[in-house]
């Protein structure tokens, strides 16, 4: 089963279908980054993209550090 999640960016509505198991997590994260009831401009979208990529970078760094410790 899938769920539709919508977001307004630059005056346009974008809807994505995601699996139910991921939908709750995605909605929760999106409410942190976006105005879910109103419009978001491109700057907000770019800031959210950079923030999420920074989180991925930090997770990657932590994972590499853990893996390096395990090689000892």
The DSSP H or E segment spanning 13 is strand 12-19
* Number of folded domains that form the chain: 1
Residue range 22-65, pLDDT digits in tens? 999 999 999 999 999 999 999 999 999 999 999 999 999 999 99
The whole-number average pLDDT for the span 8-21 is 96
Q: Domain containing 7: what range? A: 2-70
For the entire predicted model, the pTM comes to 0.79
**Exposed/middle/buried for residue 45 (C-beta within 10 Å: 0-12, 13-18, 19+):** middle
């Amino acid at each position: 089963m899938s769920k539709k999640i919508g977001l307004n960016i630059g005056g346009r509505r974008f809807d994505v279908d995601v699996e139910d198991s991921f939908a709750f997590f995605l909605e929760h994260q999106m409410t942190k980054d976006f105005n879910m009831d109103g419009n978001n401009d491109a700057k907000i979208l770019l800031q959210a993209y950079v923030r999420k990529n920074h989180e991925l970078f930090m997770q990657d760094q932590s994972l590499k550090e853990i893996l390096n410790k395990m090689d000892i």
